[in-house]
Amino acid sequence: MSDGTPADLFFDAAIGLLQRVREEEAGAITAAGALLADTVTAGGRLFAFGAGHSSLAAQDVVYRAGGLALMNLLAVPGVVGVDVTPATLGSALERVDGLASAVLDTSPVRAGDALVIISLSGRNALPVEMALNARALGVKVIGVTSVAYAAQTRSRHTSGTFLKDHCDIVLDSKIAVGDAELTLDTIPAPFAPASTVVTSALMQAVVATAAATLADRGIEPPLLRSGNVDGGHDWNARVMEEYGDRIFYRR
């Protein structure tokens, strides 16, 4: 590791990654935002899914001030962040064949909806099957993943494929295999993961693009406001009443 404090070096690494995705994924971000806008315009619903720490970026766009009210979390019990004990159970569940099918079969997801699937490695059974089964239902799928894993690791799904192979649009987070940006001679393992920073930024960029795209079409985007701003609760109540049939986190 070169000169600079670990904090400085981490910020440099994160900023570098953000700059890369800004430049290299601009077309995909625009396309993903347009897909969400198309779905909203056509009366479809929006869902986001992620397992383990990838769930953090999915949760970040659900019921969020400044975000689209129609974005719903597709939750899989046991894999939403570290919501189970032991936390290692979540990692094991990501590798269970058939779990994605069971979740989709009991979810409100249907043809005409859009689903964002976030998986850093994109190699486990759960995100791969989620994408496969969702597309079979007629759902448009946006994948947020690190494409590097497909070149440097082996799939854990029986098909031998990765999440990126089953998406309508792929957003590459550019995160290196292992998700650790820093090394020190005095520390035996690489450290300081940046995937949450980058993936959350990608998600917010896509949602911002979707909102602006709707506005360009003359459609008021169904955005939420902060409840800590005067009038925010009344604003949100109006939006939720208008779009209540497409919002599932209130039920």
Are 144 and 168 spatial neighbours (Cβ–Cβ below 8 Å)?
no
pLDDT band for 86, please (50, 70, 90 cuts).
confident
Whether residue 82 is predicted with pLDDT greater than 90 in this model: the reply is: no
Mean pLDDT of the chain: 93
pLDDT in tens, 183-215: 999 999 999 999 999 999 999 999 999 999 999
pLDDT band for 96, please (50, 70, 90 cuts).
low
pLDDT of residue 102: 87
pLDDT in tens, 24-57: 999 999 999 999 999 999 999 999 999 888 999 9
Smallest CA-to-CA distance from 163 within 20, 40, 49, 37 is with 49
Instruction: List CB contacts of 13: < 8 A, sequence separation 6 or more.
Output: 181, 182, 192, 194
Q: Rounded CA gap, 207 and 209, in Å? A: 5
pLDDT of residue 180: 95
Q: Rounded CA gap, 71 and 62, in Å? A: 5
Q: What does pTM read for this prediction?
A: 0.93
- Comparing 86 with 180, the larger pLDDT belongs to 180
* Residue 182 neighbours by CB distance under 10 Å: 17
Q: Rounded CA gap, 90 and 74, in Å? A: 15
- Among left, alpha and beta (phi > 0; psi -120 to 50; other), residue 72 is beta
pLDDT in tens, 106-138: 999 999 999 999 999 999 989 999 999 999 999
pLDDT of residue 77: 75
Smallest CA-to-CA distance from 170 within 27, 40, 16 is with 27
Q: Rounded CA gap, 129 and 224, in Å? A: 32
Q: Rounded CA gap, 162 and 154, in Å? A: 9
Cα Dmax for the chain = 57
- Spell out a b/e string for 103-138, using b for 16 or more CB atoms within 10 Å of the CB, else e: bbeebebeeebbbbbbbbbbbbbbbbbbbbbbeeee
Please tell me the number of Cα atoms within 13 Å of 81 on its side-chain side: 8
